[in-house]
Amino acid sequence: MPKPENLLMSYIVCDMLSKSDQTVAHDAWVKIIEEMSDKFKSAGATRQTVSQIWNREGTFKLGFMWEYKDEKAFVQCQSLFREAEVEFQRRTGIAWKITPTRGIVLTDMHF
């Protein structure tokens, strides 16, 4: 099996208080990241996937998976995340609980 192209990833779960907060948060975050995409690309981010987590009834969660070229890219993106989070708060005022995880890709299977 070939070595995965992106070796480092982070997965962030954000909990919100309501469905409307979740919808507004998604739209605002995507717009902010699109506006900053050149910065993220230059820093070494290669992909972001946003998902709605739906397997917990009565909760409102979004999942953000980021992939990076390497550890250096991950570190360089940290200041960009802070910048995006500040802009998100400025635009929306939405309170969200952020739970980050980080990992190294060991296996990458495509079906």
Which domains does the chain carry? Answer: 8-103 (3.30.70.100)
Q: What is the dihedral of CA 48, 67, 38, 43, to 10 degrees?
A: 150
Q: What is the pLDDT of residue 109?
A: 79
Per the document, the length of the chain is: 111
- Residues 23-71 have pLDDT tens digits of 999 999 999 999 999 999 999 999 999 999 998 788 999 999 999 999 8
pTM score: 0.85
